[in-house]
Structure 1
């Protein structure tokens, strides 16, 4: 039976999902004090995966569910009406509303945008609203409400931070490509030369690029979010500083079925690898790891080649398809992303931010003050609906 502990506490699904986690009565109280943050893109409006996520959340009773979304003005009304069809205490944050963009500009925080910025905009208000914050994506077609309970369970035991991990096996093949073929070999290459605690910490997570985590409100206020795809890695660096090995856990969430991203281009895994590389290398440098950039890419590639041998054997053992040439091609593409991190454009910790969480809430919901047209009005709200009521 697989119950090996890592350098961080590892909570396994030893019952294969047949029961909810047991936290001696404290877990449901933790749910009551939790704000769930579910970032979405405009294309996820009414998507089957996002619909499942929100339907599952109807069985919980969290303090609030914040949905930060980036969408054109002509679509935000439709998005609101769809969210209001769920019996969940949802608060929509329109992250690219004119008022939010003005607020960021006045605070000196204009710049690149993406998932990291959208989640950051929700983290400040979420940490003010609840004792705990759970963040997860909206693209898991296998999502269950118990994922929130599982992520929260370590916090009910006294941990400060928990990270989800899960199997990425779909359609008869291995996924989780950016983690397997880039993050893991890069950490292995660095770890072969350095024994710094941060390297051990980053290497202890079974799926470091998972979008699912839970944090105390205090930790959430100390996250310096990269603006786009480096959010997961940047979060681990700040969790190391705030929670450390003893305050961190990882939780088995079973098997997830996700939408898949193409490899090519800036919107594909190639583009994502550059941002992940920059944030991962920044996390290491900031904590005293001296990196030899002249040889790092080649050492990463060699570490990846060794891992590919293991992946090939594991796939064959489980009767899965495995394209060795394609895996090596992806490894080569991702290692080309390795370079010095460049300018630090992360957002500030909320404890240091030059704006107030309530100001973000007000700016991201202009319909509450009549600043958008009737298409984004409240006429379709159900009488018992709790959206935007808090």
Structure 2
């Protein structure tokens, strides 16, 4: 997506691949002073996939990465033993963190009794590993990405890390185009963009909404930051994690020190189903994202009434139906014959209905999705708890 458009958030598009060697050399030099780690949350099914096998192979060859932390979630003892064999290729740089180790769960229970952590999910898996990483102090910069990336390569990681380690931005968010024989990324295309546009139309010129609307793929799971920032962050335990992290970054860092980086020409990963109910699939994701936005906007002193929600839903439907026509033309221009206008409009209507549940949940729980407390507060509240966590996670046997 080569261009020179100046966004509100500094944006680095992908112009060519010929710079990869030079960028990697600079990154390797910088990593001797600024050690780099990668955090990957994964279920065992993700870890055992061909996508993760390729990711592990690529990471094992990246000399500029000192540590790879894999947060294994919802796995039994047998899964853990099999997972150790899968990550063995990483050698000394690999750290397999088994969240379901009974000793680890006991430490987490101790924290949860004092500072509620919310339900288990991707956010909790990231948070648990983050506590270990911060306590160990082995890395200064940490990259995050998912375990199901099918189009993973060296350029992907070099570009994401280069903006932080070499250019010294404090936070970098990855973006890309997601397509195959059709356009993917339904939640970001058909919900997030028209939803945020609707909020801006109704609420006017809010700096937070300008910032959130400027990311080209805001729901991407790939980002990098200095660990000093990560220590201060709160984020949701549910599927609102990406939006929650962007909100926290906005709170902690000046926008000129935040950037977004195009990572690859095409990205693909495991595709989620729409879901048959508000607590399943992409419908749940939409609800979690919406509640995160509502909590952030309310915290800025804006009253969100029932009339506001009614207007928002109608405005969203208007904008979302409009973008479907644009995507239909986009698909035709690129000969993506699998584009289905009916399914796209059905997705829009389903997401609009998911907003109803999000409205009701917000009125019942006005603080939005539970935010996991930042580790800086936890280590002050419970003396020695981070050491207990690292000791438990370091155990290699159940």
* TM-score between both structures, scaled by the size of structure 2: 0.87
Alignment correspondent of 2:218: 208
Alignment correspondent of 2:243: 233
Q: Does 1:334 align with 2:351?
A: yes
Q: Secondary structure at the match of 2:372?
A: coil
Query: Matched residues in 2 for 1:140 and 1:184: separation?
Result: 23
Tell which deviates more after alignment, 82-91 or 294-303: 82-91
Alignment of 1:155-304 (within 5 A): 155=164, 156-170=166-180, 172-193=181-202, 194-254=204-264, 255-265=266-276, 266-291=279-304, 292-304=308-320
Query: Matched residues in 2 for 1:230 and 1:365: separation?
Result: 29
Q: 1:152–1:300: structure 2 CA closer, same or farther, 3 Å change rule?
A: same
Query: Matched residues in 2 for 1:30 and 1:176: separation?
Result: 34
Alignment correspondent of 2:19: 19
Alignment correspondent of 1:65: 68
- Say if 1:31 and 1:60, in contact at 8 Å, map to a contact too: no
Query: Matched residues in 1 for 2:23 and 2:186: separation?
Result: 34
- Say if 2:60 and 2:89, in contact at 8 Å, map to a contact too: no
Runs of 5+ consecutive residues of structure 1 not aligned to the other structure: 373-390
Query: Matched residues in 2 for 1:35 and 1:349: separation?
Result: 19
Query: Matched residues in 2 for 1:151 and 1:284: separation?
Result: 29
- Say if 2:171 and 2:259, in contact at 8 Å, map to a contact too: yes
Alignment correspondent of 2:97: 93
Tell which deviates more after alignment, 100-109 or 131-140: 100-109
Residue 360 of structure 1, aligned match among 378, 385, 389: 389
Q: Secondary structure at the match of 2:354?
A: coil
> How far does the alpha carbon of each residue in 1:122-141 deviate from its partner, in whole angstroms, 9 at most, with x for none?
12332432111100011111
Residue 44 of structure 1, aligned match among 46, 50, 54: 46
Query: Matched residues in 2 for 1:21 and 1:301: separation?
Result: 46
Residue 79 of structure 1, aligned match among 80, 83, 86: 83
Tell which deviates more after alignment, 66-75 or 357-366: 357-366
Higher helix proportion: 2
- Say if 1:178 and 1:273, in contact at 8 Å, map to a contact too: yes
> How far does the alpha carbon of each residue in 1:332-386 deviate from its partner, in whole angstroms, 9 at most, with x for none?
111222234324411111111245433322223433xx5x2xxxxxxxxxxxxxx
Alignment correspondent of 1:311: 327
Query: Matched residues in 2 for 1:323 and 1:125: separation?
Result: 45
Query: Matched residues in 1 for 2:178 and 2:92: separation?
Result: 29
Query: Matched residues in 2 for 1:94 and 1:14: separation?
Result: 40
Alignment correspondent of 2:121: 114
- Say if 1:225 and 1:235, in contact at 8 Å, map to a contact too: yes
Alignment correspondent of 1:123: 130
Query: Matched residues in 2 for 1:179 and 1:359: separation?
Result: 39
Query: Matched residues in 2 for 1:215 and 1:6: separation?
Result: 20
Query: Matched residues in 1 for 2:253 and 2:21: separation?
Result: 22
- Say if 1:12 and 1:252, in contact at 8 Å, map to a contact too: yes
Tell which deviates more after alignment, 64-73 or 263-272: 263-272
Instruction: Report the Cα offset of residue 289 of structure 1.
Output: 4.5
Query: Matched residues in 2 for 1:23 and 1:196: separation?
Result: 37
Query: Matched residues in 2 for 1:289 and 1:136: separation?
Result: 33
Tell which deviates more after alignment, 287-296 or 127-136: 287-296
Q: Does 1:55 align with 2:57?
A: yes
Tell which deviates more after alignment, 265-274 or 198-207: 265-274
> How far does the alpha carbon of each residue in 1:30-65 deviate from its partner, in whole angstroms, 9 at most, with x for none?
445111001111112331100011110012132311
Tell which deviates more after alignment, 176-185 or 346-355: 346-355
Q: 1:263–1:21: structure 2 CA closer, same or farther, 3 Å change rule?
A: farther
